[in-house]
A and B are shown apart, each in its own frame.
Chain A
Amino acid sequence: MTFDFALVLENVPNIARAFGVTLGVWAGAVVFGSIGGFAIAVARRWGPTPVGWLLRAFVEVIRGTPFLVQIFLLYYGGPFIGLSLDNIPAGLFGLSVYAAAYYSEIFRTGFEAIPKGHLEAADCAGFTRAQTLRRIVLPEMTMLVLPAMVNMTILMLKETAVLSIISVPELTLEVSAIGTAHYAFVESFTIVALLYWGLTDLCGRAGRLAEARFSRYRFSHS
């Protein structure tokens, strides 16, 4: 067996472009997903009951089925109901929906973990619902959900690789194309693996740093 990493290195510009697509889709899905997830969690807690049921069913379906099946349904089934998306928008949309379901669960447990007394105190202080949310719930929740958020965000990065299957020109797809062109699969997938590994490791470190910084706001009681 021979490893010829030079073949891969010749394609650095391609790889860089694909890496950009990966980062873009990932960032988009994390941003839209966490906004959507937050909205779902708020609606499930404070919205009308039937809406809560519907959202719960939605979250359970997304969390109970493979992302690949979801993205196939969207990409190949979408056109049949007038939802024709190109691969990048389809990938971004699909991953955002997927992320929203998972993030909403994190926020939901975050809401539940906030001691009732803190909300009652805000009520007594005459805060409106919106004020309570912004001034009490949000800051407290940030500390509570941070570790899970970091985890999920790393998970989403790894999930972007699945988008190669619907031909989103991201890292995994582009590098396997190089592999096919030069018949150097092992080399190319080793490089991809190392790139992902480096990035997830970096995220993990950043997350731990952030947790350490935020931990001084932790509840003083146990």
Chain B
Amino acid sequence: MSWDLFLLLLQASVTTIVVSVVSIVLGFLLATVVCAGTMSSNTLARGAGRLFVSFFRGTPLLVQLLLIYHLLPQIGLDVPSEVAAVAGMALCTAAYQAEILRGGFGAVPKGLMEAADMCGLGAFATFRRIRLPIAVRLTLPSLVSEIIMILKASSLVSVVGVIELTRMTQDLAASTFLPLPLYASAGVIYLAINAVIAGVGTVLERRVARGHA
């Protein structure tokens, strides 16, 4: 296998990374809304949040991607396949991240909020200064795992025509008849990206670990 082929794979991994990062970030924003819904005292909001989480965690991402890819044009949204792909991945990861966040908020000891209340912090300051930072620290490891999951899951957007790492490998394998070295290289690239994410995650966790009970 030549260097040129490997460089093509590296180029395609940029698409993989961009698609993943955009999905993770959009998914996180959506997850905060969904999480607020599932934790809300409003029955309707809670029901909607739970239904969202249940559906997107209960069906294969591949099916979600195909559904959204075909649904968007039908409702008059003729968007590029990259957008459909990101939309599908963001919705899916939002469901997982919402559950992670809910777990994190639930795990903040009640006494810490009561102490804030007794110190006169008020609802908003208690959330911003106490509950949110502690919940984020508690969920950091799970959020890092979710990022790695999404990076791997991004390989599925190849089926809706996004030329990312897996799709590029597939195309090159078909034209060069070198599937073994190509897929192995793709695997190594995925492993390398994941190692970087896990490394950054460990550093972050260590940095916040000092402030832990």
Which A residues have a C-beta under 8 Å from some C-beta of B? 1, 60-61, 64-70, 72-73, 76-77, 80-81, 154, 158-162, 164-165, 172, 176, 179, 185-186, 189-190, 192-193, 196-197, 200-201, 204
Enumerate chain A residues within 8 angstroms of B169, measured Cβ to Cβ. Answer: 69, 72
Is A172's CB under 8 angstroms from B190's CB?
Answer: no
Enumerate chain A residues within 8 angstroms of B156, measured Cβ to Cβ. Answer: 66, 68, 162
Q: How far is the CB of A197 from chain B (nearest CB, A)?
A: 4
Is B180's CB under 8 angstroms from A185's CB?
Answer: no
Is A201's CB under 8 angstroms from B60's CB?
Answer: no
Q: Which of A73, A162, A164 contacts B184 (CB 8 A)?
A: A73
Q: Do most interface residues of chain A lie in helix, strand or loop, or is the interface mixed? A: helix
Q: How far is the CB of B78 from chain A (nearest CB, A)?
A: 13
Q: Do most interface residues of chain B lie in helix, strand or loop, or is the interface mixed? A: helix
Q: Counting CB contacts under 8 A, is B153 at the interface? A: yes
Q: How far is the CB of B79 from chain A (nearest CB, A)?
A: 15
Enumerate chain A residues within 8 angstroms of B81, measured Cβ to Cβ. Answer: none
Is B75's CB under 8 angstroms from A1's CB?
Answer: yes
Is A1's CB under 8 angstroms from B60's CB?
Answer: no
**Given A65-B190, A66-B155, A158 and B60 touching (CB < 8 A)?**
yes
Q: Counting CB contacts under 8 A, is B21 at the interface? A: no
**Given A189-B70, A201-B58, A69 and B190 touching (CB < 8 A)?**
yes
A-B CB contact pairs (8 Å), 11 listed: A64-B148, A64-B190, A64-B191, A66-B190, A76-B173, A158-B59, A161-B60, A172-B66, A185-B70, A197-B58, A201-B54
Enumerate chain A residues within 8 angstroms of B152, measured Cβ to Cβ. Answer: 64-67
Q: Counting CB contacts under 8 A, is B183 at the interface? A: yes
Enumerate chain A residues within 8 angstroms of B63, measured Cβ to Cβ. Answer: 161, 172, 189, 192-193, 196
Q: Counting CB contacts under 8 A, is B32 at the interface? A: no
Q: Which of B42-92 contact A (CB under 8 A)?
A: 54-55, 57-64, 66-67, 70-71, 74-75
Give CA–CA (A201, B153) in the complex, Å: 21
Q: Counting CB contacts under 8 A, is B187 at the interface? A: yes
Enumerate chain B residues within 8 angstroms of A193, measured Cβ to Cβ. Answer: 55, 59, 63-64, 67
Q: Which of A60, A159, A197 contacts B59 (CB 8 A)?
A: A197
Q: Which of B153-203 contact A (CB under 8 A)?
A: 153-156, 158-159, 166, 169-170, 173, 179-180, 183-184, 186-187, 190-191, 194-195
Q: Would you list the 8 A-B pairs with minimal beta carbon distance, nearest first?
A: A161-B60, A66-B155, A185-B70, A73-B183, A189-B67, A76-B179, A200-B58, A77-B180
Give CA–CA (A165, B66) in the complex, Å: 12
Known A68-B155, A70-B187; 5 more pairs at CB < 8 Å: A65-B190, A66-B152, A69-B166, A164-B62, A196-B59
Query: B154's closest neighbor in chain A, by CB?
Result: A66
Is A197's CB under 8 angstroms from B62's CB?
Answer: no
Enumerate chain B residues within 8 angstroms of A196, measured Cβ to Cβ. Answer: 58-60, 63
Is B183's CB under 8 angstroms from A72's CB?
Answer: yes
Give CA–CA (A185, B159) in the complex, Å: 14
Is A1's CB under 8 angstroms from B74's CB?
Answer: yes
**Given A189-B70, A201-B54, A61 and B191 touching (CB < 8 A)?**
yes
Query: A81's closest neighbor in chain B, by CB?
Result: B180
Is B191's CB under 8 angstroms from A65's CB?
Answer: yes
Give CA–CA (A70, B169) in the complex, Å: 12
Q: How far is the CB of A155 from chain B (nearest CB, A)?
A: 10
Give CA–CA (A73, B166) in the complex, Å: 11
Q: How far is the CB of B179 from chain A (nearest CB, A)?
A: 4
Give CA–CA (A193, B56) in the complex, Å: 10
Enumerate chain B residues within 8 angstroms of A77, measured Cβ to Cβ. Answer: 179-180, 183-184
Query: B191's closest neighbor in chain A, by CB?
Result: A64
Q: Which of B58, B62, B186 contacts A161 (CB 8 A)?
A: B62
Is B187's CB under 8 angstroms from A186's CB?
Answer: no
Q: How far is the CB of A47 from chain B (nearest CB, A)?
A: 24
Q: Which of A1, A65, A76, A172 contacts B62 (CB 8 A)?
A: A172
Enumerate chain B residues within 8 angstroms of A164, measured Cβ to Cβ. Answer: 62
Query: B187's closest neighbor in chain A, by CB?
Result: A65
**Given A61-B191, A76-B179, A172-B60, A190 and B155 touching (CB < 8 A)?**
no
